[in-house]
Structure 1
Amino acid sequence: MLVLLGRQPYRFNELHRAIGGISQRMPTRTLRGLESTGLVLREVHPTVPPSVEYPLTPLGQSLLGPSGLADWAVSNEAALAAARQRATVTTSTGPR
């Protein structure tokens, strides 16, 4: 999720769609956790209806730096999505 957020501030539904294959509860819990640790800001814009965006803080952006984790995650995004899909299929068809 930090890799996605590092690209630009996202609204909740944009994040949910970008990740795909997960319940609404997971990004909600993840964003709250990232916010509580100071990695993400929750910015509410006074529009009708209210618009909420989640940009990374400077601390969160520091995770995207020279560690290479962000580059790896972007490079392997398709493989990770395929692995999640296989895990979902395996879980829904019975025990492993």
Structure 2
Amino acid sequence: MTTFVETSGLPADTYSAKCPTRQVIDHIAGKWTVLVVDALLDGGTMRYTELSRRIEGVSQKMLTQTLRTLETDGFVTRTVHPTVPPRVEYRLTPLGLSLAEPISALRRWTETHINEILRARAGHPAEH
């Protein structure tokens, strides 16, 4: 597989509309991706149902879509065990584990500052 620089002759530049880093940032920054990655960081290898229970409010469609995208991008591996019914497990790859620090930091920051954010929201009229 070749890199963006090798195929286009251009350096990776997130501010460029043509750069594939835009799509990756879109995947990584999504709320379900953040929660799935963080859950796998905490839980290690997890089954679909475990992830579904851990991440309240995620629909089956969104969890499936998020896991597929994470697998396609190389952040998650999916292992199917030949049992009846098949047992499917997900775990972070080394690339996925490299997201540990930024994803965990984002979650911790949000939990630390939620009261300030809620106070700020209370002081502003609702957006229309």
SS of residue paired to 2:77: coil
**Where does the alignment leave 5 or more consecutive residues of structure 2 unmatched?**
1-35, 115-127
Structure 2 equivalent of residue 92 of structure 1 = none
- Equivalent pair of 1:3/1:74 in contact (CA under 8 Å): no
TM-score, scaled to structure 2? 0.53
Query: For 1:60, which of 81, 88, 96 is the aligned residue?
Result: 96
Shift of 1:13: 1.0
Q: Which runs of 4+ in 1 moved over 4 A?
A: none
Opposite residue 45 of structure 2, the aligned amino acid is P
Shift of 1:22: 2.3
Matched, 1:25 2:61: yes
Between structure 1 and structure 2, the one with the greater Rg is 2
Opposite residue 5 of structure 1, the aligned amino acid is L
SS of residue paired to 1:3: helix
Distance 2:98 2:69 in 1: 17
Structure 2 equivalent of residue 70 of structure 1 = 104
TM-score, scaled to structure 1? 0.70
Shift of 1:42: 0.5
% identical equivalent positions: 47
- Equivalent pair of 1:39/1:60 in contact (CA under 8 Å): yes
- Taking CA–CA contacts closer than 8 Å with sequence separation of 6 or more, which of the two structures ends up with the larger relative contact order? 1
Query: Between Structure 1 and Structure 2, how many residues are aligned?
Result: 77
Matched, 1:51 2:87: yes
Structure 2 equivalent of residue 11 of structure 1 = 47
CA RMSD of aligned residues (A): 2.1
**Where does the alignment leave 5 or more consecutive residues of structure 1 unmatched?**
80-95
